[in-house]
Each structure stands twice: as C-alpha cells, then as structure tokens.
C-alpha cells in the first residue's frame, strides 16, 4: 500500500492532506532537499521551521507546483501533483489558498479587486455585484474594516497588507492554507492578533494549515505539530514536547535557547490565563496603539508588485 492509500485508511484526524515522499530539489550543484518525506494531517496547523536557507519556501513551492523537483512525489487531497495535466492540477489548486511572504498583492489593484482576482479566474460567470459582495465578506473575515476594500496595498500598514493577502487566499473557500512567514515584520501585538486570526479561521472553517515560520511564539500559540527542516530533509515532526525529547542539536538550540525558553514561558503563562481576559487585554493594547496601524509597515517591503508572479 502506498503512503496515500495508507493515509486514507487512517482515522480522519490522521489522514494526510499533503503527502510528500522522496522529494529532492536542486539548483545546479546546490542540493536543497534530498529524499524528503512529510505528511500534513487533515485539520492541523503544521508549523515548518528550519534555519535560513534550509528550503522551507522551496518545499512549499514544490507542493503547490511552482518548483519542479528533480525527484519524488507530492500528493495533495490524495491527488498526485507532479507531472499532472494542467486542468486536473487547476482543479486541485482551487481547493487551497496561499499567502506568500509580503502578501504578493497586485499593487495596481485595490484590496477588494485583489480578492476578486482568483474568483474571476475560476468563476468568470460571476456578476460584478456578487464579486463585490464576496470580496467584502472575505475582507471582513480577516478583521479588516470595510474601508480597506477600496484602498490600494500601498495605502495599508504591513499588518493590514498581510490581512489583505489572507483575504485573497480565502477567496475560493479553501480547505488548505499555505502561509509563508505570516507574522514576519509584525510587532508582537500585531503578530499575536494574526495568530489568533489564523487559529480562529482554522477552527471555524475546518482548515488544514501549512505554516512556515521563524516565530517561536506562533509555534507555541497555534501549531498542533512542528516539522523541522535540517540536513536537506525533515528530521523530525511532532508536538513541541515531543521535539524537545529529541537529541538533535539544532532542535535543542532552537527550542531550548534563550528565545525558545522565553516563548515557552510566555505560552505557559497564557495557558493559565483566562482566554477572554487575555483577548480583552490584547484588544485594549491594540486600540491604544492605534489598531493595525501600529504594525510595522516598513518591515513588509513595498514589494507589492504590479505583477503577482507567484500565482
């Protein structure tokens, strides 16, 4: 029985929505992945971590079909993705959403128009009024005010641009979300609010989330399991306590170093607190800091390009 078939006979919560086997990627002489395996289970938020340049983004790009591997298999929703007929691949792509680093919004389109791009691509028959209604709904889902819809990306703070990118990734009602460093460049309050948003969306929409991050707080706050990339492969996958029990130098340094310990202590404190009170305090802090505008706009490059080459 192959890995995908095996995953179908597993209990629902163990079923692999993404199944990567024997993946190898190289750029010329540089081998990025060698015989990499990974499963992402239905309904989980899987955090993907690893040192800079270990190939987290290349892995995501291989799964979503933007990077042709030199070897290996990638199945999503039980469907093989490599060497797939374009129309079939398109049908599978419709079931996922992607938030690229920096948002990758079209700079010449408003937020609402950005959200409408995938809708127009997949549902050309939809009327303008209906498209506008769906876009407004998706914008609201990400916690942006209605006034954000007619704004251009350059008129938004970094945090708002991330939310706009997230709204676009939700346009087609995906079952699976790919998020590449969603909290990078956000201040701690903005990052925690974004974590809450992702967790809330995952729970209400029943999403499976593949989340690349360097943010230890995010890992503790919202990830069900964490996959560690090192030595060209996924060296371990598990809950943070499971990973901590392993004798891998990078894992130990990452989770047990000063930043890792601080994040663990902070997560422990939050667990003991009343979640409603915690949320109230965060909202109050956000309001007194000027809401989303407090988020570090400068940290997200104004690389909201005219052409979103990532799609």
Q: Which stretch binds ligand ATP (CB under 6 A): 52-60, 233-241, 249-257, 281-289?
A: 52-60
- Least distance to ligand ATP from the beta carbon of 137, Å? 32
Distant-in-sequence, close-in-space partners of 99: CB < 8 Å, separation ≥ 6: 162, 165, 166, 169, 177, 178, 179, 180, 182
Shortest Cβ 214–ligand ATP spacing (Å): 6
Q: Does the protein bind ligand ATP through residue 56 (CB under 6 A)?
A: yes
Which pair of tokens denotes residue 21?
Answer: 């086997």
Choices 11-19, 53-61, 141-149, 268-276 (CB under 6 A): range interacting with ligand ATP: 53-61
Q: How many residues sit in the footprint of ligand ATP (CB under 6 A)?
A: 10
Using the minimum distance from each CB to ligand ATP, give the nearer residue, 31 or 287.
Answer: 31
Which of 18, 58, 156, 237 lies at the binding interface for ligand ATP (CB under 6 A)?
58
- The alpha carbon dihedral of 106, 197, 79, 230 has a sign of positive
Which of 13, 35, 53, 121: binder of ligand ATP (CB under 6 A)?
A: 53
Q: Give the residue from 233, 237, 246 showing the smallest Cα distance to 219.
A: 237
Contact pattern for ligand ATP over residues 15 through 34, marking x by CB under 6 A: ------------x----x--
Residue 54 binds to ligand ATP (criterion: CB under 6 A): yes
Nearer to ligand ATP, 56 or 202 (CB): 56
Piece of 46-54, 241-249, 269-277, 278-286 that binds ligand ATP (CB under 6 A): 46-54
Looking only at the bridges linking them, the beta strands covering 30-41 and 16-27 are: antiparallel
Binders of ligand ATP among residues 135 to 194 (CB under 6 A) are none
Backbone angles phi, psi at 173, to 5 degrees: 55, 60
DSSP string, 65-102: TSS--SEEEEEETTEE-TT--HHHHHHHHTTEEEE-TT
Member of 9, 12, 52, 86 binding ligand ATP (CB under 6 A): 52
**Residue in 20, 23, 47, 57 binding ligand ATP, rule: CB under 6 A:** 57
| Smallest distance from ligand ATP to CB 25, Å | 8
Residue found by looking up tokens 């937020």 in the block: 111
Measured from the CB atom, is 189 or 243 closer to ligand ATP? 243
Least distance in Å: CB of 70 to ligand ATP?
Answer: 13
Positive/negative CA dihedral, 8, 11, 12, 18:
negative
- Residue 300 as a binder of ligand ATP (CB under 6 A): the answer is no
If you search the block for the tokens 């919004």, which residue do you land on?
105
Q: Give strand pairing partners of 226.
A: 47, 238
Tell me if 37 sits within 8 A of 75, measured CB to CB: no
Which range of residues in 55-63, 122-130, 136-144, 246-254 is near ligand ATP by CB under 6 A? 55-63
Query: What sign has the CA pseudo-torsion 231, 207, 104, 192?
Result: negative
The residue (of 56 and 162) whose beta carbon lies closer to ligand ATP is 56
Nearest-angstrom CA–CA distance, 68 and 46: 23
Are 31 and 24 in contact by the 8 Å Cβ rule? The answer is yes
Identify which range of 49-57, 243-251, 258-266, 301-309 contacts ligand ATP by CB under 6 A: 49-57
Where along the sequence are the contacts to ligand ATP (CB under 6 A)? 27, 32, 50, 52-58
């Amino acid at each position: 029985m192959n890995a995908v078939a095996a995953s179908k006979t597993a209990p629902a919560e163990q079923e692999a929505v993404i199944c990567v086997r024997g993946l190898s990627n190289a750029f010329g002489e540089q081998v990025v992945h060698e015989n990499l395996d990974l499963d992402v289970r239905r309904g989980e938020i899987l955090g993907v971590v690893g040192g800079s340049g270990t190939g987290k983004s290349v892995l995501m790009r291989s799964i979503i079909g933007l990077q042709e591997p030199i070897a290996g298999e990638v199945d999503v929703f039980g469907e093989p993705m490599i060497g797939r007929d374009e129309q079939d691949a398109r049908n599978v792509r419709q079931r996922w959403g992607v938030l690229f680093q920096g948002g990758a919004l079209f700079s010449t389109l408003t937020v609402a128009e950005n959200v409408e791009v995938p809708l127009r691509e997949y549902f050309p028959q939809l009327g303008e009024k209906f498209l506008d209604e769906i876009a407004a709904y998706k914008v609201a889902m990400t916690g942006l005010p209605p006034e954000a819809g007619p704004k251009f990306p350059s008129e938004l703070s970094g945090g708002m641009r991330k939310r706009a990118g997230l709204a676009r990734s939700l346009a087609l009602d995906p079952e699976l979300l790919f998020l590449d460093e969603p909290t990078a460049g956000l201040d701690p309050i903005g990052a925690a609010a974004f974590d809450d948003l992702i967790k809330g969306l995952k729970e209400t929409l029943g999403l499976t989330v593949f989340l690349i991050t360097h943010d230890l707080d995010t890992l503790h706050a919202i990830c069900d399991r964490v996959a560690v990339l090192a030595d060209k492969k996924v060296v371990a996958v598990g809950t943070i306590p499971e990973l901590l029990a392993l004798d891998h130098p990078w894992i130990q340094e990452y989770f047990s170093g000063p930043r890792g310990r601080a994040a663990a202590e902070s997560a422990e404190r939050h667990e003991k607190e009343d979640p409603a009170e915690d949320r109230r305090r965060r909202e109050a802090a956000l309001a007194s800091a000027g809401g989303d505008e407090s988020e570090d706009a400068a940290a997200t490059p104004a690389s909201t390009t005219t052409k979103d080459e990532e799609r």
